[in-house]
Amino acid sequence: MQHGKYRFIAGFLVPPLIVYAVFVVSPFVQAFQISLTDWSGLVGSARFVGADNFVRLWESDEFWNALRHNVYMLAFVPLVTLALGLFFAFMLNVGGRRRRNEVVTGVAGARFYTFVFFFPQVISITIIAVIWFNIYNPDPDDGMLNSLLGAVGLDGLQNAWLGEKSIALWCISAVMVWGHVGFYVVLFSAAMASIPRDIYEAALLDGASRHHTFFRITLPLLWDTVQTGWVYMGIIALDAFALVQIMSVNMGGPDGATDVMPLRLYLTAFRDSQYGYAAAMGVAMLAVTMAFAVLTLRFARRERIEY
């Protein structure tokens, strides 16, 4: 009977594990194999070169420039996105004024605001990039942002935006925040809904302010969700391929100011036909992503709070 139980469990586990190995693990292994060659994309053109691609990568100024931009986005995008998501979720769930017979409630119109915040999530990333590319259009007549600034008398703040080397990357990062904050509003709202209202009511009746309620109750009880969101948002920040490809000047410009690792990999493989070198970039990206995830889960770990 015991032996039959194990066969029954294996019957459910083996097929999905095989599918996972073929479609997930196998491509990673093949990418590492290709990274050790000088393959140009043609059948039979691969020649084993060992670690030459990784040495070349280490000495590449273009790669380090792209990695630096990803690190900038990694430091900015998750922090701002999660902070805004927590703030908006808190206001929509427990940040409203006290009403009759209700001690804890969200702001008026919370459901409508939730829909507004989540709306970018139902739009394709390509459409988002095209919309914001036109918003950032430097033409004072055609660009929405510059037109708005001119209409309110702030002509001095008009800028080339995506064409300005010093701010182009931050403009794209702002779009990334705008496009993802709604997801975290809904995620954190769902997590807050599981927190017993009695805890909030007891804190408010004891005279706790909204500030103390958030930092002493909400944030500690949501920390596991925040930690998971931080890893997920960090992976998105390390990608940023679609936004940069569509929105940046000449894909990564001006003058490499918006170049990121995935875009550098794409250009190396499909423009320069250096698939072995591009695979080495992919392996490096995997290492950076895994290091970020492990460090985040390690240093952001806190003792779980039960309620």
Helix (H) or strand (E) holding 127, with range, is helix 125-135
Burial 9-43 (b: 16+ CB within 10 A, else e): eeeeeeeeeeeeeeeeeeeeeebeebbbbbbeeee
Domain boundaries of the chain, sorted by first residue: 60-299
Sign of CA dihedral 51, 52, 56, 57: negative
With bands split at pLDDT 50, 70 and 90, how would you rate the model's confidence at 253?
confident
Q: How far apart are the C-alpha atoms of 224 and 33, rounded to whole Å?
A: 36
Q: How far apart are the C-alpha atoms of 252 and 224, rounded to whole Å?
A: 35
Higher model confidence: residue 207 or residue 22? 22
Structure tokens at 87: 């703030």
The mean pLDDT value for 32-58 works out to 86
Cβ atoms 222, 90 nearer than 8 A = no
Query: pLDDT digits over 69-128, tens only?
Result: 999 999 899 999 999 999 998 888 876 565 555 556 667 777 888 888 888 888 888 999
pLDDT of residue 1: 47
pLDDT of residue 211: 78
Flag the least confident range among 57-61, 103-107, 148-152, 165-169.
Answer: 103-107
Topology given in CATH for the domain delimited by 60-299: MetI-like fold (1.10.3720)
Query: pLDDT digits over 254-297, tens only?
Result: 888 999 999 999 999 888 889 999 999 999 999 998 888 888 88
Count of Cβ atoms closer than 10 Å to residue 50 Cβ: 9
With bands split at pLDDT 50, 70 and 90, how would you rate the model's confidence at 48?
confident
- When the pLDDT of each residue in the chain is averaged and rounded to a whole number, the result is 85
pLDDT of residue 217: 81
Cβ atoms 103, 91 nearer than 8 A = no
pLDDT of residue 189: 87
Count of Cβ atoms closer than 10 Å to residue 241 Cβ: 16
Look up the pTM and report it. Answer: 0.85
